[in-house]
Amino acid sequence: MRSFLYFPWGFTCGFTEENVSFIYSAFKHIRVLELKSVLAPFLPTEIGQLVQLRYLSLRISEPVIPESVSTLWNLQTLVVYGFMCPMGIDFHVSKDNSMTNLRHIYIWPSLRLQYPLASSKVQTISNLRLPFGRQPVLEMTPNLKMLACVVLQLSDGLVLLPPLDTLVHLEKLKIYIDNDLSLPEQARFTCLNRLPHTLKKVTFSNCCLPWKDLSELGRLPNLEILKILRGIFQGPRWDPNDGEFKKLKVLKIQSPELAEWNMSSDHFPALERLVMDSCRRLKEIPMCLGEIPTMGLIELRWPRSSAAESARQIIEEQQCPGNDWLKLVIYDRDRRKGPTWAFKEKLCPDLGVEFVHIDSSDSEDSESTDDRIQVSKSGMVTVAVVKLT
């Protein structure tokens, strides 16, 4: 047998010490082992005998990933779910030890590295907790393409983002800001101007950003997707600068602070998809969005009625030039009492709107709309899809 995947129905189950030892001793030639739905009390030393493993996914209660894993010289993907934050890897991962083929590392809830990663084959690391300053844990991973990291925000507002410009092949970057304290009015990022120019997708989560810091992201020459999740901006108004976001295709913003957005079609010349999520103070969507030739979808999640109405006007204006590919999608929490339900009667006669009610399951702050639209599991959501006919 080459693969063993265990998915119990509806819950995570616990294995006894004997169960765990049996799995690792019985399948010595296995290549794929999926046990994230099994809570193992420990990892037995027998796991080091599974030298044919390419993919390993586990759920453990120990705070440290044991060194026995380091003998898996064929392993390419390591996925570990734990209960301690952060989880630790206290052994070397390098070209000189047996984990020479490791390419993908995913640790949840977060990962702490005792030693630098010294492998040119590592391409993705998820949930890595980064200290401030030089990053020896990353300096010897020259071919890293995706990094999801956790950085600390201090009580005085300083966000300790380390310089990442040495990662010259990095294309995807996710940054989660660890700020258990109440956010100060003046958050400051270190080294935001030292991001690699190879980046194509950037996601900030749980962040307090000055609007001017978005300009640093706008200067990234290859940026195509930008998501600001659970963002608190300093000030209610965003005025983008000329010459920024030249290649941006997807923009998603979750911010309760944003009230005004002043822009021209020159600011986002390649934009294809806009998602405004929980921007409850935003008064209107800029009308010039309809003038961007690449624009195909405007998605509003729980907007004010005035913002939804302005989006309707954008669609209506684009009917005349024959732009039948531009669509509007609106989500509302309650189909009877939601703030956008009131303009249903305006939308339907003019534009042929189809309202669809979906039981959904996505939280407000989750990511969506890269390749498909995902909606919330938590209740009934009103989706208004504007079809130009």
d(CA 38, CA 58): 7
Is pTM beyond 0.95? Reply is no
Distances in whole angstroms, Cα of residue 103 to Cα of each of 55, 113, 128: 10, 16, 15
Sorting pLDDT into bands at 50, 70 and 90, what band is 386? very low
Q: What are phi and psi of 202, to 5 degrees?
A: -130, 135
- Counting the structural domains of the chain, the total is 1
Residue 223 lies in a domain: no
CB atoms within 10 A of CB 197: 12
What is the rounded (10 degree) CA torsion for 332, 334, 340, 345?
120
pLDDT of residue 346: 46
For tokens 């609106």, the residue is: 330
Residue 150 lies in a domain: no
Which residue has better confidence, 178 or 227?
227
> In this predicted model, what pLDDT tens digit does every residue of 297-355 receive, in sequence order?
999 998 998 999 999 899 888 877 666 788 898 887 654 444 444 444 445 444 544 44
Give the residue among 194, 214, 217, 215 at the shortest CA–CA distance from 133: 194
Residue 121 lies in a domain: no
Residue 331 lies in a domain: no
d(CA 285, CA 287): 6
Residue 252 lies in a domain: no
d(CA 277, CA 253): 6
Q: Say if residue 250's pLDDT is above 80.
A: yes
Residue 20 lies in a domain: yes
Give residue 33's domain range.
Answer: 1-111
Can you read off the two tokens belonging to residue 284? 């209107």
Which residue has better confidence, 68 or 260?
260
Work out the burial of residue 149: count CB atoms within 10 Å of its CB; fewer than 13 is exposed, 13-18 middle, 19 or more buried.
buried
Residue 355 lies in a domain: no
pLDDT of residue 40: 73
d(CA 38, CA 376): 27
Residue 335 lies in a domain: no
d(CA 65, CA 92): 12
> In this predicted model, what pLDDT tens digit does every residue of 28-54 receive, in sequence order?
889 999 988 877 777 777 788 889 999
> In this predicted model, what pLDDT tens digit does every residue of 132-159 receive, in sequence order?
666 667 777 889 999 999 988 887 778 8
Tell me if 62 sits within 8 A of 82, measured CB to CB: yes
Sorting pLDDT into bands at 50, 70 and 90, what band is 359? very low
